[in-house]
Amino acid sequence: MGFNIAGTDKKRIVIIGGGFGGLKLANRLKGSNFQIVLIDKNNYHQFPPLLYQVASSGLESSSISFPFRKIFQKRKDFFFRLAEVQAVVREKNLILTSIGELKYDYLIIASGTVTNFFGNEVIEKQTLPMKTIEEALILRNTLLSNFEKATICTDPQEKQALMNVVIVGGGATGVEISGVLAEMKHFVLPKDYPDLKQSEMNIYLVEGSPHLLAAMSEEASDNAKRFLEGMGVKVMLQKKVVDYKDDKVILDDDSSIETKTVVWV
């Protein structure tokens, strides 16, 4: 086990993470006078802009994941290693990983970010983030299994909690997932779940600031709100989620929404 990488006279560049940044750099370094080692904890590159399609069953995960070994076929003095990087020892030019240690001459850290739960452990444990293919598939399975449970549920309150979806965060991802779930409600639910009433599925999009898509123009923000509301999404601005317990999302004005599906984006 270990890295088992052939010795070379060239300087070694280690890239941690084959996401957008790491992959672009590795491609740019093609033909350079360096040995390249790309390390990722997955053996595939993923394309996050279409994660919402995987979460809503519109696309299979294989359509947005690309094996590194296929991308880098025939590259000379290039090594991919499947490993999780655990620490960097800068004074020794060394990284510690799940498959052992590796020396580098230059180190590029392109390991992306993690979802911010603002330190709330309950929310972290019980809500569904959507940054990776794995998380998108968990969300897809949760939605579908909740619909299945709703078809046989005889308790109206429990059924409503199964049919309500709360999306927290009105940035690009929150807007995309709300929109695609509204499409699912209108076009998939009536065909695939004829026992469920379309009107029973509620999609709430909760955003703390006064605007959706706060990083974009006011026009884009207003249009997004108008389109989503036109599709039946309940857009709630200037409301913050403070807790999630007993299948209830608690807002900062002390109101609550019953749901078994909270998407944290």
Which phi and psi angles does 122 have, rounded to 5°? -65, -45
Question: Taking CB positions, which residue lies at the least distance from ligand FAD?
Answer: 19
* Shortest Å, Cβ 48 to ligand FAD: 3
In this chain, which of 3, 19, 193, 250 binds ligand FAD, going by CB under 6 A?
A: 19
Q: Which of residues 80-99 bind ligand FAD (CB under 6 A)?
A: 84-85
Q: Are 228 and 182 within 8 A, CB to CB?
A: yes
Q: What does the per-residue mask of binding to ligand FAD show for 173-192, with x meaning CB under 6 A?
A: x-------------------
Counting contacts by CB under 6 A, is residue 127 touching ligand FAD? no
Amino acid at 41: K
Q: Point out the residues that are catalytic.
A: 176
E strands, the chain, are 11-16, 34-40, 44-46, 65-67, 78-82, 85-89, 94-97, 100-103, 106-109, 164-168, 202-207, 234-237, 241-245, 248-251, 256-258, 261-264
Token pair recorded at residue 262: 């909270």
The alpha carbons of the chain give a radius of gyration, in whole angstroms, of: 22
User: How far is Cα 117 from Cα 112, in angstroms, rounded to an integer?
Assistant: 16
The count of residues interacting with ligand FAD (CB under 6 A) is: 23
Counting contacts by CB under 6 A, is residue 40 touching ligand FAD? yes
Determine the distance from the C-alpha atom of residue 83 to the mean position of all C-alpha atoms in its chain, rounded to a whole number. 20
Which stretch in 104-112, 197-205, 208-216, 250-258 sits in contact with ligand FAD by CB under 6 A? 104-112
Q: Between β-strands 106-109 and 164-168, what pairing exists: parallel, antiparallel or unpaired?
A: unpaired
In this chain, which of 22, 169, 174, 179 binds ligand FAD, going by CB under 6 A?
A: 22
Nearer Cβ to ligand FAD, position 97 or 259? 97
Q: What angle do CA 222, 228, 233 make, to 5 degrees?
A: 130
Counting contacts by CB under 6 A, is residue 41 touching ligand FAD? yes
* Shortest Å, Cβ 96 to ligand FAD: 11
Counting contacts by CB under 6 A, is residue 134 touching ligand FAD? no
Nearer Cβ to ligand FAD, position 19 or 58? 19
* Shortest Å, Cβ 118 to ligand FAD: 17
What residue ranges bind ligand FAD (CB under 6 A)?
16-22, 39-42, 48-49, 51, 84-85, 110-112, 130-131, 172-173
